[in-house]
């Protein structure tokens, strides 16, 4: 008895220490400059005259309503960490929920899923970014737990929690529909019993979901039906699968890396779902979230509107499945232990390479670029041009405003360069440039010399290159 108690205490202490460490990691990742998408969302909040404007005035795919509503409430602050607090808290809660979900399979699985999810670069990125993905993930996990407990106990408090989490998740981000569809599929296919131990009818299985379906129908007609999509580069379904798999597993995002990642992802998912089915686990929900719902989204959506982050709400459930599969293989198939160790080690190395980039570079350093231009021009107005007439002026004007110098920094659209020649030029890229050009010649304007350059973590943020025109 004492040995068991000591073992439980060590497990609880280890889990608490790991959870605390990863929670601090989220806070650290939330430092640094806001990048374009966050500033865009903050702009919706700043332009709102009331909370209702968040719902009614900005029907745009970058308006993640729950997050924008939070930004509206804290719009008076000037602290980047405060802007990201909702996401950070959602991430911290999500990690705790994950380790508790995995505890049903064993202590090792509970610890492993905490390590997998806590080290995952995509989750670290979106758990520390002022957007709607983190709240949606958190609400998805709460809805999953609440519905399971409702089916097990028929307690109305769990049903109410499921409804509230689902409605909040839908408002947080539209991709919460993946969770809604998956839980609906699971309810219909699972063997649910009533208190009298008789199998529940299809109507009884559907009933808990009706308010959620009704709320989504209302939300679609009220908000989503006229939403404006920002779009992006067109990608094929195969490219999207490869990119999603590469970031999910922490592997290379090159074409060969994406192909390898996709193969590994398909094998792990298929084998994991099979073992979960054989173990009589909740394979229905995992099949819905990792297979059926994503396929439905691919069919129903245009690929130009999709990015791997469109499926990030499913990532925690994959890490749960992988933790289960790892524990299962470790004891049932000892010959697979070395391949399992190599797989997990490769994932950790890949994720932590990106994690270190996020911790050191953040999502770019636009403050530094603006500070240099302000310092080098005294108190005089100055003209700035760039290689993108939406992204860069949005960033530059925001950081100039934070320096109380919005009137001094005057952005010149490319079409107007010959009338108002820029003194400064900003180059940017999503991918790093090994050797930035030391000079750039803008035809008819002059030659510009590199003054400074700043790196960014992958996916969220821009690599920035600041040039000044030679006199």
Residue-wise pLDDT tens digits, 277-298: 999 888 999 999 999 999 988 8
Residue-wise pLDDT tens digits, 51-107: 999 999 999 999 999 999 999 999 999 899 999 999 999 999 999 999 999 999 999
d(CA 35, CA 178): 27
Hey, where are the domains in the chain? 2-361, 366-469
Region of 451 please: left (phi>0), alpha (psi -120 to 50) or beta: alpha
pLDDT band at 236 (very low <50, low <70, confident <90, very high): confident
Going edge to edge, which strands form the sheet with 439-442? Answer: 409-411, 382-386, 424-429, 463-469, 446-454, 439-442
Q: Whose CA is closest to 212, among 250, 242, 274, 168?
A: 168
Q: Which residues pair with 382 in a beta bridge?
A: 409
CA 13 to chain centre: 29
Encoding tokens for residue 26?
A: 């989220």
- 136, 313 in Cβ contact below 8 A? yes
- The confidence score (pLDDT) of residue 46 equals 95
Question: How far apart, in Å, are the Cα atoms of 24 and each of 28, 29, 31, 93?
Answer: 6, 9, 11, 13
DSSP state of 340: H
Residue-wise pLDDT tens digits, 147-183: 999 988 989 999 999 999 999 999 999 999 999 999 9
Q: Which residue do the tokens 């989490």 mark?
A: 165
- The confidence score (pLDDT) of residue 440 equals 94
Residue percentage of the chain with pLDDT more than 70: 96
pLDDT band at 302 (very low <50, low <70, confident <90, very high): low
- 213, 163 in Cβ contact below 8 A? no
d(CA 127, CA 135): 8
Residues 342-346, mean pLDDT to the nearest whole number: 98
Encoding tokens for residue 29?
A: 């990742």
Length of the chain: 471
Residues 339-367, mean pLDDT to the nearest whole number: 97
Q: Which residues pair with 96 in a beta bridge?
A: none
- 461, 35 in Cβ contact below 8 A? yes
Burial class (CB in 10 A: 0-12, 13-18, 19+), 455: middle
- 54, 68 in Cβ contact below 8 A? yes
Residues 240-253, mean pLDDT to the nearest whole number: 96
Q: Whose CA is closest to 127, among 85, 167, 98?
A: 85
Half-sphere CA count of 409, side-chain side, radius 13 A: 29
pLDDT at 191 over 80: no
Q: Which residues pair with 463 in a beta bridge?
A: 429
Q: Which class is 366-469 in CATH?
A: alpha beta
Q: Which residue has the higher pLDDT, 278 or 228?
A: 278
**Global pTM value:** 0.94
Q: Which residue do the tokens 């529940």 mark?
A: 200
- 178, 313 in Cβ contact below 8 A? yes
- The confidence score (pLDDT) of residue 230 equals 72
Residue-wise pLDDT tens digits, 307-321: 899 999 999 999 999
Residues 409-438, mean pLDDT to the nearest whole number: 94
Strand 463-469 and strand 424-429: the pairing is antiparallel
- The confidence score (pLDDT) of residue 193 equals 47
pLDDT band at 450 (very low <50, low <70, confident <90, very high): very high
pLDDT band at 412 (very low <50, low <70, confident <90, very high): very high
Q: Whose CA is closest to 355, among 165, 178, 120?
A: 120
- 31, 131 in Cβ contact below 8 A? no
Strand 424-429 and strand 382-386: the pairing is parallel
Question: How far apart, in Å, are the Cα atoms of 241 and each of 43, 228, 259, 293, 294?
Answer: 32, 25, 9, 14, 10
Strand 439-442 and strand 424-429: the pairing is unpaired
d(CA 257, CA 255): 5
- The confidence score (pLDDT) of residue 199 equals 62
CA 439 to chain centre: 36
Residue-wise pLDDT tens digits, 7-61: 888 899 999 999 999 999 999 999 999 999 999 999 999 999 999 999 999 999 9
d(CA 301, CA 297): 6
């Amino acid at each position: 008895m004492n040995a068991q108690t000591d073992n439980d205490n060590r497990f609880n202490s280890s889990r608490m220490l790991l959870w605390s460490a990863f929670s601090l990691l989220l806070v650290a990742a939330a430092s640094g400059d806001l990048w374009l998408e966050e500033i865009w969302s903050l702009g919706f909040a700043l332009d709102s005259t009331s909370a209702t404007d968040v719902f009614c005035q900005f029907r745009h795919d970058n308006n993640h309503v729950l997050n924008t509503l939070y930004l509206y409430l804290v719009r008076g602050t000037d602290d980047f960490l405060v802007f990201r607090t909702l996401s950070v808290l959602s991430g911290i809660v999500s990690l705790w929920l994950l380790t508790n979900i995995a505890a049903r399979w064993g202590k090792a699985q509970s610890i492993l899923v905490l390590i997998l999810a806590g080290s995952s670069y995509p989750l670290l990125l979106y758990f520390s970014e002022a957007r709607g993905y983190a709240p949606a993930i958190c609400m998805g996990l709460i809805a999953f737990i609440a519905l399971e407990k409702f089916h097990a106990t028929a307690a109305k408090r769990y049903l109410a929690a499921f409804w509230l989490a689902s409605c909040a998740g839908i408002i947080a981000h539209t991709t919460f529909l993946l969770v809604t569809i998956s839980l609906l599929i699971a309810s219909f296919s699972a063997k649910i019993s009533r208190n009298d131990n008789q199998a529940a009818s299809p109507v009884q299985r559907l009933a808990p979901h009706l308010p959620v379906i009704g709320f989504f129908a209302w939300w679609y007609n009220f908000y989503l039906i006229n939403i404006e999509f920002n779009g992006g580069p067109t990608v094929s379904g195969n490219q999207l699968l490869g990119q999603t798999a590469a970031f999910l597993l922490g592997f290379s995002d090159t074409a060969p890396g994406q192909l390898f990642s996709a193969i590994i992802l398909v094998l792990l998912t298929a084998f994991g779902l099979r073992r979960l089915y054989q173990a009589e686990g909740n394979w229905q929900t995992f099949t819905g979230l990792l297979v059926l719902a994503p396929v439905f989204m691919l069919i129903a959506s245009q690929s130009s509107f999709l990015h791997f982050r469109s499926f990030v709400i499913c990532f925690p459930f994959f890490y749960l499945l992988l933790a289960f599969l790892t524990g299962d293989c470790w004891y049932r198939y000892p010959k697979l232990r070395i391949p399992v160790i190599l797989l997990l080690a490769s994932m950790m190395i890949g994720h932590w390479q990106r994690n270190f980039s996020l911790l050191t570079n953040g999502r770019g350093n636009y403050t530094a670029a603006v500070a240099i231009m302000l310092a080098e021009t005294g108190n005089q107005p100055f003209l700035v041009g760039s290689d993108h007439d939406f992204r860069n002026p949005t960033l530059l004007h925001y950081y100039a405003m934070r320096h109380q110098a919005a009137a001094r920094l005057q952005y010149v659209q490319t079409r107007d360069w010959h009338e108002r020649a820029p003194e400064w030029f900003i180059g940017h890229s999503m991918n790093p440039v090994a050797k930035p050009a030391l000079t750039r010649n803008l035809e008819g304007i002059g030659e510009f010399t590199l003054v400074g350059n700043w790196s960014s973590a992958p996916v969220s943020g821009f690599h920035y290159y600041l040039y000044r025109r030679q006199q």
